[in-house]
Copies of this chain bind each other. A is one copy, B any other.
């Protein structure tokens, strides 16, 4: 039975739009619209217990998941949403033990989520050029406790002459101009490894897809994920009135070899004929 202690992270949960991620500190009090929440009220409670605010509202003391950390992450840039993170994992087949490269760390929401999956034997190498974002990213990575599984480096991969790592399972690109790093991503990837790109606009998808073909990638798939919530209540079940808008499109492709050298002898003999 896991109990809340000083320095534990907790999610104080009132409802799906009112919830607060906090690091427990003996003398801290959280001020909210539903009243004051004393951190000390949570200490010693089992996760899942409810406490009460000074305005008589119940609040659940939940153990934060990676979903909660990502939803509540401090971000200077656009984050990648859970619905998109999930599909990246499923479509690229990300699994424990893999070596992953991320180009464009941003606020590290994707970085920490992927690290939580590939750990303890896998690793995420993440690159950015903006020191301000990198400071935020570093803080977020520590918060989720993933620092052992992530290596962050300031490096512009568009212009880097030496690629920093090889034989990578998956390269994830989160840049405004993803096509500029496709050839570098290719060098880092193992044979038939997957490139994934976060593309908020259709124009990015279009340019990227062209670049992927030119750089000998195959199995190119562009998708978008629409997440809809449903209010399931007896006798009046329906989709939620609140809509969820566009976040990003995604693009997936696998490194192939189009050239002759890697093709079979048969091919050569056909070419001769």
Residue positions of A touching B, CB distance < 8 A: 1-2, 13, 16, 41, 45-52, 56, 58, 60-63, 65-68, 82-83, 85-97, 113, 116-121, 167, 190-194, 200-203, 205-206, 208-210, 218-247, 249, 251, 254-258, 262-264, 266-267, 270
Residues of B within 8 A of A16 (CB): 219, 221
B245 A52 Cβ-Cβ under 8 A: no
Inside 8 A of A58's CB, which chain B residues have their CB? 263
Contact assessment for A67 and B90 in the assembled complex, using a CB-CB cutoff below 8 Å: yes
Q: List 6 A-B contacts (CB under 8 A).
A: A45-B264, A93-B116, A202-B230, A205-B237, A209-B232, A242-B243
- Report the minimum CB–CB distance from A214 to chain B (whole Å): 11
Contact indicator B67/A93 (Cβ below 8 Å): yes
CA distance A194 to B64 in the complex (A): 11
Q: Are A41 and B264 in contact (CB under 8 A)?
A: yes
Q: Which residues of B contact A47 (CB under 8 A)?
A: 190-192
Residue among B68, B226, B256 making CB contact with A48, cutoff 8 Å: B256
Other contacts beyond A67-B90, A82-B90, A120-B120: 10, CB < 8 A: A2-B191, A41-B264, A47-B190, A47-B192, A48-B256, A96-B96, A120-B121, A201-B238, A224-B228, A243-B246
Determine the distance from Cα of A85 to Cα of B95 in the docked complex, in whole angstroms: 13
On chain B, the residues within 8 Å of A233 by CB distance are: 206, 209
* Protomer copies: 4
Chain B residues positioned under 8 Å from A208 (CB to CB): 232
Contact A202 B262 (CB under 8 A): no
> Are B270 and A56 closer than 8 Å at their CB atoms?
yes
The CA of A201 and the CA of B238, in the complex, are separated in Å by: 5
What chain B residues lie within 8 Å of A193 (beta carbons)? 48
* Max chain B C-beta neighbours (<10 A), residue from A232, A233, A241: A232
Q: Is the CB of B256 within 8 A of A234?
A: no
Return chain B residues, CB-CB under 8 Å to A67: 90-93
Question: Which residues of chain B come closer than 8 Å to A246, judged between CB atoms?
Answer: 228, 238-241, 243
5 nearest interchain CB pairs?
A: A65-B93, A243-B243, A86-B90, A86-B86, A243-B245
A236 touches B50 (CB 8 A): no
Considering the chains assembled together, what is the distance between the CA atoms of A68 and B218 in angstroms? 14
Residue of B48, B118, B238, B249 touching A255 (CB-CB under 8 A): B48
* A226 contact from B61, B226, B242, Cβ within 8 A: B226
